Structure 1
Amino acid sequence: MHALSTFLLCALPLTAFAGQSHRGARYYYERKLHGTRSSSGSTCTKPPSTNSTYKLADLYQGSNFFEGWNFFTGSDPTHGNVEFVSQKDAQSQGLAVVNSDNTTVIGVDDKSTVPKGGNRNSVRISSKKSYSSGLFIADFGAMPAGCGIWPAWWSAGPNWPTSGEVDVVEGINNQKNNQYTLHSGSSNGTCTLDKNATEDFTSNVLGTQCQSSNGDDSGCGFSDPDPTSFGQGFNNVSGGVYAHLWNNEGIKMWHFARSKIPSDITAKKPNPTSWPTPAAAWSSKTCDISNHFFDHALTIDTTVCGDWAGDAYASSGCPGTCSDLVADPKNFVDAKWKINYIAVYQ
């Protein structure tokens, strides 16, 4: 069972495919689920500076995993062909389960036949706690993969994009490379990614303007050149770990394939200063992190088709149409997140 600590953390946003917008999910998420900066009355304190010693604050794992999460219900804000179901319905339909080995599985219905262009049941969960800084480590044994699929591991705060969005895992269809993205608002000054800054990273820059709006939400982000960073390539190596460090110096993100996970992460004594160059990095020198990213709920979801995966379906090398794909349950056998644990350190 995860510890229910009282500290808050603040996060950032993720992006869409190069040159393409995936508006909606994040925008409507903020407005529909939050509405105000802090519904609990809590305040977001300024994040601490980098420290090589971190203590476990929240651990989401095993039989009590779902106690720390809210289930979003209803139609997909990004206009996907899914219906997000309640915890009761998800568990009764086998879409949200904890296995005997303590792995948590959430996925898309792969048993029902639905009409062409209809909606298929899926799961979207967000943490009950909100965060404004911290070290976040997610160990996934597998992620949803395949044509028409749009999985994401991300966080966002109230009044999107004022409190920002951080996308740690995101991609569509047969994409092989993960995208890391931040989305910021305009009320707290400029926020950009300086690709010529001294920050080191291993991924390819997709965009440098983090400021986002309902009509322009590409954000500032990176494409990971590692083919094991997303989709089937990730699953072929038994998954791995995504880690992101968020403090007042900036945001850094790492991906470690299963065989390359640092021993300090496995021992739950993470020390980011000992890790290799991050896949993605944003510096506070060109974006005031604490002012742009705060009060974030962590979110995991899978949609089908929609504003991004559907629009890019024909150019992704996928057969037929996305509307046709939805009808056949066999297309969703691999549309599952397998979560070993999610840990938050402070």
Structure 2
Amino acid sequence: MRSFHRLVLAAFPLITLVGARSYSRHFPITIGRPSTDGTYTIQDYYQGEDFFKYLMIFHLPSDWDFYTGSDPVGGNVIYQNKSAAQSERLAYVNSDGTTVLAVDSTSTVAAGGDRDAVRITSQNSYNSGLFIMDASKMPVGCSTWPSFWTVGPNWPYGGEIDIVEGINDQAKNQMTLHSGTSHSCTIDTDDSSEFTGSVLSSNCYSTETSDSGCSIMDSSSTSFAYGFNNAGGGVFALLWDNSAGMSMWHFARADIPSDLTARAPTPSNWGTPSGFWSAQTCDITDNFYEHQMVIDTTICGNWAGGAYSQSGCPGTCTDMVANASNYVDAKWVLNYVAVYQ
């Protein structure tokens, strides 16, 4: 439900390294296809300063870009560049190596005004793979709209995959695919045994004026917001397999598979996913390509603001923006983000 702000991404020059290795890693990287036993190997691994540092030795910019344009979903935010975000303590690394991406929670802002925030986009792009986010906390609070997603060029034609997304005091994670071509993409609602979540909408086709996509709500109360944070966070996983489809899992901290902890993930052992979009009812290859990862938090906007009065939150969304204390916990605390192939 991120709307046509995807078009803005395409307007900025980016270094796109499709299938390329990324150099800011803490251990050797092997790039390859899944082995016969279904185990995946690391292509890109981001932890701590990997989200921020400049790779001068390779004459490359940092692995992630800080987006600084206006928020195309109409949120009450001003996205900061890297230096400003670090200066304001909106993007930093804790002593334990976790990475924090936050919304300003100290400034005086008028009702309906804008708060400083952070949105980052990966330099590398992908056409398949196993995408992992391990976070100990995600942004919470009325008016917040956090998300971890991937997006292709020329939205919606290159597609969008929302791995983590929700608004206000939503209790469970909402997973969504957005397709923009004439090639069919729907959720296979005839076989509910393929996933554990609940279908919210089955047609993935999206346009600038109608972009709800095809969504599945996770069944777990630890998959989003306060429930996620109170469980010590956890892992979100997207397996993008062009021949099989899109599968998404959420694991609470205590339930993270041992093979994933060992950096030898074998999704075939993970059980039924929270969400699944079958290649039999969705043309994966034609609808999803050259995706970059995005992590952001906006405030209000066309979804969180539009649904605010139905969310059980006090007052109005624009009034909430003025309450700095509401954003003390509006922050991502990331252990790592990884892409396996």
Q: Provide the TM-score with structure 2 as the length reference.
A: 0.89
Match of residue 231, structure 1, among 225, 232, 244: 225
The separation in 2 between residues aligned to 1:319 and 1:212, in whole angstroms, is 32
The separation in 2 between residues aligned to 1:192 and 1:288, in whole angstroms, is 9
Deviations 1:301-331 (A, max 9, x none): 0000110011111111111111111112101
Are 1:329 and 2:324 an aligned pair? yes
Match of residue 307, structure 1, among 284, 302, 307: 302
Shift of 1:63: 2.4
Match of 2:57 in 1: none
The separation in 2 between residues aligned to 1:33 and 1:151, in whole angstroms, is 18
Are 1:103 and 2:89 an aligned pair? no
Are 1:53 and 2:47 an aligned pair? no
Pairing of 1:62-211 with structure 2 (within 5 A):
62-66=48-52, 67-187=62-182, 189-197=183-191, 200-211=194-205
Point out which structure has higher relative CO (alpha carbons under 8 A, 6+ apart).
1
The letter of the residue matching 1:58 is: D
SS of residue matched to 2:338:
strand
CA contact (8 A) 2:19 2:126 kept: no
Deviations 1:142-179 (A, max 9, x none): 00011001000001011111110000000000100110
Unaligned runs of 5+ in 2: 21-31, 53-61
Coordinate RMSD, CA, aligned: 2.1
CA contact (8 A) 1:183 1:212 kept: yes
Shift of 1:56: 0.7
The letter of the residue matching 1:122 is: A
Shift of 1:65: 2.6
The separation in 1 between residues aligned to 2:317 and 2:152, in whole angstroms, is 31
Ranges of 4+ aligned residues in structure 1 off by more than 2 Å = 35-44, 47-51, 63-67
Are 1:319 and 2:295 an aligned pair? no
The letter of the residue matching 2:227 is: G
The separation in 1 between residues aligned to 2:13 and 2:193, in whole angstroms, is 30
The letter of the residue matching 1:64 is: D
Are 1:28 and 2:33 an aligned pair? no
Match of 2:58 in 1: none
Kindly, what percent of the aligned residue pairs are identical?
Answer: 53
Residues 36, 287 of structure 1: CA spacing in aligned structure 2 closer, same or farther, 3 A cutoff?
A: farther
The letter of the residue matching 2:5 is: Y
Match of 1:292 in 2: 287
Residues 133, 332 of structure 1: CA spacing in aligned structure 2 closer, same or farther, 3 A cutoff?
A: same
The separation in 2 between residues aligned to 1:50 and 1:287, in whole angstroms, is 25
Are 1:280 and 2:275 an aligned pair? yes
Shift of 1:74: 2.8
The separation in 2 between residues aligned to 1:198 and 1:330, in whole angstroms, is 42
Shift of 1:197: 3.7
The letter of the residue matching 1:269 is: A
Are 1:266 and 2:261 an aligned pair? yes
SS of residue matched to 1:150:
strand
SS of residue matched to 1:130:
coil
Residues 74, 271 of structure 1: CA spacing in aligned structure 2 closer, same or farther, 3 A cutoff?
A: same
Match of 2:207 in 1: 213
CA contact (8 A) 2:16 2:124 kept: no
CA contact (8 A) 2:71 2:78 kept: yes
CA contact (8 A) 1:199 1:283 kept: no
CA contact (8 A) 2:46 2:337 kept: yes
The separation in 1 between residues aligned to 2:253 and 2:34, in whole angstroms, is 29
**Range with greater deviation from structure 2 (284-293 or 62-71):** 62-71
Q: Provide the TM-score with structure 1 as the length reference.
A: 0.88
The letter of the residue matching 2:220 is: D
Number of corresponding residues: 319
Shift of 1:266: 0.7
The separation in 1 between residues aligned to 2:19 and 2:221, in whole angstroms, is 40
Unaligned runs of 5+ in 1: 1-21
Residues 140, 218 of structure 1: CA spacing in aligned structure 2 closer, same or farther, 3 A cutoff?
A: same
The separation in 2 between residues aligned to 1:179 and 1:327, in whole angstroms, is 27
Match of 1:3 in 2: none
The separation in 2 between residues aligned to 1:234 and 1:142, in whole angstroms, is 7
**Range with greater deviation from structure 2 (140-149 or 196-205):** 196-205
SS of residue matched to 1:131:
coil
